[in-house]
C-alpha cells in the first residue's frame, strides 16, 4: 500500500450497510488510502431503489478518483448490494462482511466476473451454512472469487459498533479484504 497516496488518487470504495455513526470502520478504509463514500440504503424500499443509490455513489467516486476504479463493500444486508454491484453495475470489485441476501440472487452468479471477496461467520443466523454452501457452489470455478468462513462468530462480527463484533475475526477478515482491494 502506498502511504503517500492522497484521497482521489486510488481506488474508490462505496460502503453499504453500515449503521449511522460507524466512523471507526470508515476511517480504517480511509487510512488505507481508499477514497471512501458511505451510501445509505433503505433495504426495505427494495433492491432496485438500493441499487440506484449504490450506482449514484459509484458514479460519484468514478468522477473524482484518478484511477477511475470503484469497489463496493457491503456489511450485513449491504452484502447483497456489493454482489449486485458486481453483477449489474460493473463494479471493478466487491467484498462483503456477513453479507445477507446474496443467496437470493445466485442466478446472477455467472455475471460475477470481477474480483469478489466474501466473509461469513459460521454462527450467522441470517446467512446459515447452507446458504454459504449455495453461494460457494454458484461461484465455484471463478478464479476471481474468494470465500472465507470464521468459526464461532455470527452476524455483525466485523462491525466495531455492533454487539456481535469479534475483534480477532474482524481483524483477519479486514486484513484479507484490504489485501484484496490493494490488488484492484
Residue 3 is predicted with a pLDDT of 44
> Given a cut of 80, is residue 21 above it in pLDDT?
no
Q: Mean pLDDT across the stretch 15-30?
A: 88
15, 99, 114, 12: CA torsion to nearest 10: 10
- Residue 3 inside a domain? The answer is no
CATH assignment of the domain containing 132: 3.40.50.1820
- Residue 6 inside a domain? The answer is no
Residue 2 is predicted with a pLDDT of 43
- Residue 96 inside a domain? The answer is yes
Which residues form the domain of 50? 12-182
- Residue 2 inside a domain? The answer is no
25-36 confidence digits (pLDDT tens): 899 999 999 999
In sequence order, which residues have a C-beta less than 8 Å from that of residue 10 and are 6 or more positions away? 2, 33, 34, 35, 65, 67
Identify the CA nearest to 137 among candidates 165, 156, 116, 109: 109
> Given a cut of 90, is residue 68 above it in pLDDT?
no
Averaged confidence pLDDT in the chain: 92
Tell me the C-alpha distance between 112 and 127, whole Å: 19
Q: Mean pLDDT across the stretch 11-28?
A: 89
Residue 7 is predicted with a pLDDT of 46
Number of domains in the chain: 1
Q: Mean pLDDT across the stretch 170-174?
A: 97
- Residue 127 inside a domain? The answer is yes
- Residue 114 inside a domain? The answer is yes
> Given a cut of 80, is residue 1 above it in pLDDT?
no
- Residue 50 inside a domain? The answer is yes
- Residue 163 inside a domain? The answer is yes
123-156 confidence digits (pLDDT tens): 999 999 999 999 999 999 888 999 999 999 999 9
Cell numbers for 175: 486484513
Residue 170 is predicted with a pLDDT of 96
In sequence order, which residues have a C-beta less than 8 Å from that of residue 39 and are 6 or more positions away? 14, 15, 16, 53, 54, 56, 57
Q: Mean pLDDT across the stretch 109-131?
A: 95
Tell me the C-alpha distance between 63 and 33, whole Å: 17
Separation of CA 161 from chain center: 17
Identify the CA nearest to 124 among candidates 106, 105, 145, 149: 149
Amino acid at each position: 500500500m502506498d502511504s503517500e497516496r492522497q484521497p482521489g488518487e486510488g481506488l474508490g470504495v462505496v460502503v453499504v450497510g453500515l449503521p449511522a455513526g460507524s466512523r471507526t470502520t470508515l476511517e480504517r478504509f480511509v487510512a488505507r488510502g481508499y477514497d471512501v463514500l458511505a451510501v445509505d440504503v433503505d433495504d426495505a424500499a427494495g433492491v432496485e431503489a438500493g441499487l440506484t443509490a449504490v450506482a449514484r455513489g459509484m458514479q460519484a467516486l468514478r468522477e473524482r478518483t484518478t484511477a477511475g476504479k470503484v469497489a463496493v463493500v457491503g456489511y450485513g444486508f449491504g452484502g447483497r448490494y456489493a454482489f449486485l454491484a458486481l453483477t449489474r453495475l460493473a463494479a471493478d470489485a466487491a467484498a462483503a462482511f456477513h453479507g445477507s441476501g446474496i443467496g437470493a440472487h445466485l442466478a446472477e452468479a455467472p455475471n460475477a466476473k470481477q474480483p469478489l471477496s466474501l466473509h461469513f461467520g459460521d454462527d450467522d443466523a441470517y446467512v446459515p451454512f447452507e446458504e454459504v454452501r449455495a453461494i460457494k457452489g454458484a461461484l465455484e470455478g471463478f478464479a476471481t472469487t474468494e470465500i472465507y468462513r470464521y468459526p464461532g462468530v455470527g452476524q455483525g462480527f466485523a462491525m466495531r459498533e455492533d454487539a456481535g463484533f469479534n475483534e480477532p475475526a474482524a481483524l483477519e477478515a479486514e486484513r484479507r479484504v484490504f489485501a484484496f482491494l490493494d490488488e484492484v
